[in-house]
Amino acid sequence: MNEIDVYGIIHIFGQEIWITQTIVTTWVLMAILIIIAFLARLQLKKFSEKPSGVQNVIELVIESMDNFVISAMGEKYSYFANWFFGVFVFILISNLSGLLGFRPPTADYATTACLALSTFVLIHFMGILKQKGSYFKGYIEPIPIMLPMNIISEIATPISLSFRLFGNILGGSIIMGMVYSLPAIFRIAIPGVLHIYFDVFAGCIQTVIFVMLSMTFIKDKIGD
Amino acid sequence: MDANYLKGLAYVMNFDKQFIIQLCWQLFNTAVLCFILTKLLYKPVKKFLADRKEKIAKQIDGAKAQLEDAQKLKAQYEMKLSEIEKERNAILDNARSQGKQTEQQIISDAKREAETIKNRAMLDIQREQEKAKDEIKKQIIEVSSLMASRFIASSMDEATQNRLVDEVIADLGEIKWQS
Amino acid sequence: MNGNISTLNAYDEATLRAFVLGCSAIGAGLAMIAGIGPGIGQGFAAGKGAEAVGRQPEARGTVVSTMLLGCAVAESTGIYGLVIALILLFANPLVGKINL
């Protein structure tokens, strides 16, 4: 139940690589997103000074993302919006893809781990870049004995980030799978309500939380 | 590939070498997606928004400058208008005072002329009166001399005397009336 | 493990697997007890949030969004329990330890 199917195996440099359901779903979602982005790009040419219709929606999306990043990280680091816009949109559409009958890519630990790993790398890259010496000093504060604790807490950050997203989405999809395996009489209206809670509500909230916590952690390490 | 073999590989989560490969796959996918979305949509739209913002700011600035210019012009015109008003008032006042002056002058001239005319007339009258008085005196003297000659010429009775006196008086009266 | 183990037959191996899997299922169930903590914590947060909204209804938006964020963070311990349960059920590392 609720397993990730393996659709095929390819060999690169003698290494077995599984083409899993997650990866295929990711490609489909990527294609959808890129097509939407392309259509929006075509609309951009028709943009006028007085926004209307589709232009309003595109502007709203981009501006609210921009404001979100600026409110969390400050005007100076608004270039992170380039990365987090993609991450946000990808996580959101992944979480919502359960509505279309896909197995959400975020219900595969590989996906959330890769996102959390990128956040982890960003955190420490920015920390070393901006804090320099005091970055390493931060590990032996307030007392040197705290060093192992600090290291564990740093490692716990991406794990908690990835497991939070993964657990929420996988838990939701497992419960949905269980509901769908019930007798037909229970499958009339109940799945709709559960979809709204598990996919729409939890999906949106977890997306916002993932991105916001990522930005907060990075901002914390940057200091100032 | 054997379908059953693939079915046997299905998993929910695993932590082996395949997991790391999947992780790299997803990292690659996410990076590609982010790159494409950024290049394709995010940056152009942001650029468009920034351009528009700048344009609107410029327009607002321009409008402000124009408004300031207009206000300056308005102030200038108002100043000019008030000057014109002042000038007009001055001219009017001037004209009025001049008019009053001329009026006064004309009146006083007229009065003076009237005075002179009156004086002259008075003088004439006085002269005329004097003349008339002289005339009367002369005549009275004449009459009285005539009467005296008559008294003397005729010795006369009471009745004649009275008649004569009456005559003289009547004559005198006539003369007085004539003068 | 003593020498007797190596002489176990296939039937015994199946029994051992079943035993490990059963214990894992019990462990998974026990791991879900961790759900109590976030439940209490989120209830507490929601109560405080309602209190804050009651006191300052004009700050409703901020309070609710902060509360949801806090709830989601507090939920993570429960999610860890869920993940342990899922690992025990679907990616059981203990079954691989049965080496006969």
CA angle in degrees (0–180, nearest 5) for B124-B130-B132: 100
* A21 belongs to a structural domain: no
Rg of the Cα atoms in chain B: 67
CB contact under 8 A, B10 and A9: no
Distance between CA atoms of residues A134 and A102, nearest Å: 46
Chosen from A21, A43, A44 to mutate, greatest number of chain B CBs within 10 A? A44
Global ipTM: 0.88
B15–C90 C-beta distance less than 8 A: no
Contact B10 A6 (CB under 8 A): yes
B-proximal residues of C, 60-89, CB under 8 Å:
86-87, 89
Is B21 in contact with A18 (Cβ distance < 8 A)? Answer: yes
Q: What would the pLDDT profile of A145-174 be if each residue is shown by its tens digit?
A: 888 888 888 888 898 888 889 888 888 888
**Residues in chain C whose Cβ is within 8 Å of chain A:** 68-69, 72-73, 75-76, 79-80, 82-83, 86, 90
A80 phi-psi bin (left φ>0, alpha ψ -120 to 50, beta other):
alpha
CA gap B30, A4 in Å, rounded? 19
A17 part of a folded domain: no
In three-state form (DSSP H/G/I as H, E/B as E, the rest C), the secondary structure along B123-143 is HHHHHHHHHHHHHHHHHHHHH
User: Do the Cβ atoms of A110 and B12 come within 8 Å?
Assistant: no
* C96 part of contact set with chain B, CB < 8 Å: no
Residues in chain C within 8 Å Cβ distance of B10? none
Full pLDDT tens readout for chain A, 224 residues: 577 888 888 888 878 888 888 889 999 999 999 998 888 888 877 777 777 778 888 888 888 888 888 888 888 888 888 889 899 999 999 999 988 888 888 888 889 999 999 999 999 998 888 888 888 888 887 788 888 888 888 888 898 888 889 888 888 888 888 888 888 888 888 888 888 888 899 899 889 889 988 988 888 888 76
pLDDT, tens digit (0-9, with 9 covering 90-100), for B60-106: 999 999 999 999 999 999 999 999 999 999 999 999 999 999 999 99
DSSP C93: T
Tell me the HSE value of C47 on the side-chain side, using a 13 A CA sphere. 6
Identify whether the C-beta of residue C35 lies closer than 8 Å to the C-beta of residue C82. yes
Residue C1 has pLDDT above 70, yes or no: no
Chain B residue whose CA is closest to A32: B33
What's the rounded mean pLDDT across residues B149-160? 72
- The verdict on residue A183 lying in a domain is yes
Cα–Cα distance measured from residue A30 to residue A37, given in angstroms and rounded to the nearest whole number: 10
Q: Is residue A16 situated within a structural domain?
A: no
A30/B32 Cβ within 8 A? yes
Neighbours of B19 (CB within 10 A): 17
Exposure letters A24-44 (e unless 16+ CB within 10 A, then b): bbbeebbeebbebbeebeeeb
Half-sphere exposure of C5 (CA within 13 A, CB side): 6
Question: Domain tally for chain A?
Answer: 1
Q: Which two tokens stand for residue B141?
A: 């003297």
| Chain B CB contacts of A110 below 8 Å | 19, 22-23, 25-26
Residue C15 has pLDDT above 70, yes or no: yes
Interchain contact, A167 vs C80, CB within 8 Å? yes
CB contact under 8 A, C86 and A167: yes
B37, containing H or E segment: helix B17-37
pLDDT at B178 over 70: no
Band of pLDDT at residue B155, cut at 50, 70 and 90: low
- Which residue carries 């029994």 as its tokens? C15
Tokens of B25: 């796959």
- The minimum CA-CA distance between A186 and chain B, rounded to whole Å, is 26
User: Nearest-CA distance from B2 to chain C in Å?
Assistant: 23
User: Around Cβ A162, how many Cβ atoms within 10 Å?
Assistant: 24
Which residue range(s) make up the domain with A173? 48-222
Q: How far is A124 from chain C (nearest CA, A)?
A: 22
Torsion of the alpha carbons at B20, B26, B28 and B29, rounded to the nearest 10: 160
